A = this chain, B = another copy of it.
Amino acid sequence: MAQSDTVTRILDTAEVLFAERGFAETSLRNITSKARVNLAAVNYHFGSKKALIQAVFARYLDPFSERFHSALDELEARYEGRDIPLEVLLETMATTVLTVPAERNSLKVFMRLLGLAYSQAQGHLRRYIQQQYGDVFSRFTELVRRATPDLPDAERFWRLHFMLGTVIFTLSGLDALRDIAEKDYHQHVSVRDLVRRLRPVVVAGMNAPLPDERDVEHHADTVAH
């Protein structure tokens, strides 16, 4: 019983500290002391700090990947060959993202970790995530492609990342934003409240009119000097 308890305690503590302060700013001594575990336990069980970081991600992304795959399976079965509407696809992704960390009560941590994976240098992490979970994302984008046949490929690519940016940025910087929001508007904001607000914005962004070609020149004028 004592065997795996240490591993779990390390992971539980590490994910919180990583999410709060980033990877470089969180030392193994921070983790092990707060987890009331010996310092050497991390290197013993995981091998290195990098491996610990990847393990923290795997504990979120493995269930997510699995569930998202089956959700897409179910969706494809239900629509039996017909294109799945964009709103349904986005909705499915949202609920999957929300479902996974609900079991460990911390969507905030999950999103913050995703944000770190993007923003923090940590080249090994991006590579790990890409090669480990790239196929789920590819499958999703292919379905989105069929759902938006009128959108040029490049435009869809960018808009998907725009929307990804909106969600990750918002939910990962949630604490800071929440502070400002509550100071200015004296109202509490829950994650689900935010997701509710995000939905129409994301959909509208994906369905926005195509950019005007002439804009390019206009900007070129103002930028050059």
Q: Which A residues lie at the B interface, using CB under 8 A? A: 20-22, 24-25, 95, 98-99, 102-103, 115-116, 118-121, 126, 153-155, 157-159, 161-170, 172-173, 176-177, 181, 184-185, 187, 192-205, 207-212, 215-216, 219-220, 222-225
B210 and A200 within 8 A (CB): yes
**17 A-B pairs in the complex with CB atoms less than 8 angstroms apart:** A20-B121, A99-B225, A119-B120, A119-B173, A158-B197, A159-B197, A162-B170, A165-B165, A192-B219, A195-B219, A196-B211, A196-B216, A197-B211, A199-B211, A200-B208, A200-B210, A200-B212
Q: Are B198 and A162 in contact (CB under 8 A)?
A: yes
Query: What CA separation (Å) do A203 and B204 show in the bound complex?
Result: 9
Chain B residues whose CB sits within 8 angstroms of the CB of A196 once the complex forms: 211-212, 215-216, 219
What residues of chain B lie closer than 8 Å to A157, measured between beta carbons? 181, 184-185
Shortest distance in angstroms between A62's beta carbon and chain B's nearest beta carbon?
A: 18
Q: Which residues of B contact A159 (CB under 8 A)?
A: 197, 201
